[in-house]
Amino acid sequence: MPPLRSIAFVVNADKTGASGLARELLAAARQAGVRVKLTSRTRVPQGYLRGSDACCVIGGDGTLLGVAREAARWGVPIIGVNRGGLGFLTTFSADEARVHFADILRGRFRVDNRAMLACTVGRGPQELALNDVLIKAESSTGLLRLEVFADGELVTDYLCDGLIFSTPTGSTAYNLSAGGPIIHPAAKAIAMTPICPHTLSNRSVIFRENVCLRVHNRTPGARLLVAVDGQPHLAARLDLPVRISVSDRRLPLAQTVDYSHFAVVRAKLKWSGGFSEKR
């Protein structure tokens, strides 16, 4: 990557230590002659990243998700610095950010282009998801009967609390909590995981990346809530199908040159990682 000439900062000031770390990294960028701008709005306005060579997000994965659609729109790599919880997306710790930031400013990082989902309800606007699309009842209680089609072919109908459609990136989010599989980010796939299905035979289904999925609500009197990356963007009446596919847009995610996805998974999920052989 070429050296950075401009960098935008998105800082979640509610996260402990985020503001102090931002001041350090801003000073380093200015000292290197890089143009900077800063916002503490975690849902950045349209156009905020226009003209930026990179965006440094300091917060948790939720903060990064709030920037993802704008970053994908402008093709701006996100440098995610974790000041939240698990941090699968914000892969740099505060200490790692301090150590690697000078190299990042020189362009010494790699970019992993992550798949995103496109979701529409009826003829409504298209929304983008980096992690997942959740379909559930608009009310907090009640089972749903959802009918799923893949490229026009019936997959099955579910009696469940909802469905999660996940990218490989989002497979370690709600999908994992619901018993879904962990998928490597480079895999070209979509995972569909039912939430509390009322049959033991219903498990996650993995679809190829270029599939066109369609979900119909067959629950009399029930409306659907369609949440995109945890945000309840859309609502569907009984007669409006939900369409999900992989978007043409990708999220550029900045990583160190020696980044290892499985090292992150082992650390975040606290896997033991091996055994000692007795001699």
Superfamily designation of domain 6-109+256-269: Probable inorganic polyphosphate/atp-NAD kinase; domain 1 (3.40.50.10330)
95 in catalytic set: no
**What letter represents residue 222's amino acid?**
A
Write out the residue limits of the CATH 2.60.200.30 domain(s) in the chain. 116-248
| Secondary structure E strands in 71-109 | 78-82
Name the catalytic one among 61, 132, 151, 229. 61
| Residue 205 bridge partners (DSSP) | 192
**pLDDT for 278:** 47
Residues 180 and 156: beta-carbon distance below 8 Å:
no
pLDDT at residue 22 tops 80: yes
Which one is the CATH code of 116-248: 1.10.150.120, 2.60.420.10, 2.60.200.30, 3.40.50.510?
A: 2.60.200.30
3-state secondary structure 168-179: CHHHHCHHHHCC
**pLDDT for 167:** 98
- Residue range 256-279: average pLDDT? 75
Confidence of residue 97 (pLDDT cuts 50, 70, 90): very high
83 Cβ contact list (under 8 Å, min separation 6): 12, 15, 16, 17, 18, 21, 58, 59, 60, 90, 94
pLDDT digits (tens, 9 = 90+) for 184-213: 999 999 999 999 998 877 899 999 999 999
pLDDT digits (tens, 9 = 90+) for 111-160: 999 999 999 988 888 999 999 999 998 876 778 999 999 999 999 999 99
Q: Over pLDDT 70: what percentage of the chain?
A: 95
Return mean pLDDT, the chain.
Answer: 91
Write out the residue limits of the CATH 3.40.50.10330 domain(s) in the chain. 6-109+256-269
**pLDDT for 222:** 83
pLDDT at residue 277 tops 60: no
Q: How far apart are CA 61 and CA 58, in angstroms?
A: 9
Q: Specify the pTM.
A: 0.91
**pLDDT for 236:** 61
- Residue range 25-45: average pLDDT? 95
| Exposure b/e, 184-203, CB count within 10 A at least 16 = b | ebeeebbbbbbbebeeeeee
Confidence of residue 110 (pLDDT cuts 50, 70, 90): very high
